[in-house]
Structure 1
């Protein structure tokens, strides 16, 4: 058996800007990028089509939105600005450290998270210090922007299972969103939602062997 945990809303809570276009604009301006006067409209408009279930990388979207207004930026500048705009203090959810500690003693463990900002999941894990506090490292960190597919698409769960070297049927995914995280249960894995079991309760079930 292997476990994967959703990150945002499951292991950690994080503040997100209510008006993300303003946060991105500030990060761009800090890098001497000219922000168009109608930036909110450009940011909130689609600039390319994506296959259903595909992740739309936010740094790519920002570059396309700027280009639509005649502003060119490098990939590195867009990526840095987007990461800074969404990188914020986080709080570790009650039971997260215990859950990772117990899970890591049972088998391989991964983070499986929807996130359109490259590097944000890794930065958040570093900020939260879950690995250092628990004394265990995640065996894999799977993100939608990294693998190209958003939960509940089967591909992201299959990628997680493959990376942990287990069959999909042996993957248990823990999350807080029935629509996205619950997708694991609809593709052959097992899904556990926090609305049904808290993280401390999941840790206890692992100790008792009830999830094996």
Structure 2
């Protein structure tokens, strides 16, 4: 058995900036980048023509937004600014540890997260009350290049777990994205219907109470 978990909204809740464009602007300014006067507009515009379902890393978007206004961001300033801007407070959701342990007792466990900010998933896991070692593979959209519900996101985590994607159980909070596993023959567990605190019982019912 192989189970993958979504991160944000499933295993943890995190705080995000109310105005991310403004926070990124402050971090750029702190690194000597001349932020354009219409930065709010530039930040919201689309600057990279990516294929449908592809992830555009936020630092690449920020660099492109600056370039659209004739501003250069040397020394990897865009990446450093974005990483600093998204420095979350993390709250582990009830039942997260128990759900992960229950999955690990039955097979391999993966993490599959839509996240355009480099390092954010790793820093979130460090601050969460979960054992990072429980994950046999960690897949993020910023690393693999594809966002759920794109098939390649699920296929990437399935490969990391050594299973066919159709055999994957994916636990998440968003039927629009996490539920994409169903189109590939896998199983979606919606935490709105099966809370993490009940996931162990769900697994037992699924396998008839065994511990394969």
Match in the other structure for 2:115? 115
CA RMSD of aligned residues (A): 1.5
Match in the other structure for 2:80? 80
- In 2, distance between residues paired with 1:9 and 1:118? 18
Gaps of 5+ in 1: none
- Contact 1:63/1:75, CA 8 A, preserved across alignment: no
- Contact 2:194/2:202, CA 8 A, preserved across alignment: no
Pairing 1:1-212 to 2, within 5 Å after superposition: 1-74=1-74, 76-131=76-131, 136-206=133-203, 208=204, 210=206
Flag as ranges the 4+ runs of structure 1 deviating above 6 A.
none
Specify the SS of the correspondent of 1:3.
strand
C-alpha deviations, 1:66-95, integer Å up to 9, x for none? Answer: 111121113632112111111211100000
Q: Alpha-carbon deviation of 1:204?
A: 2.2
Q: Structure 1 141/129 Cα, relative in aligned 2: closer, same or farther at 3 Å?
A: same
Specify the SS of the correspondent of 2:171.
strand
C-alpha deviations, 1:40-73, integer Å up to 9, x for none? Answer: 0111111121111111111000001111112111
Q: Alpha-carbon deviation of 1:137?
A: 2.6
Q: TM-score, normalised by structure 1?
A: 0.93
Gaps of 5+ in 2: none
- In 1, distance between residues paired with 2:61 and 2:134? 32
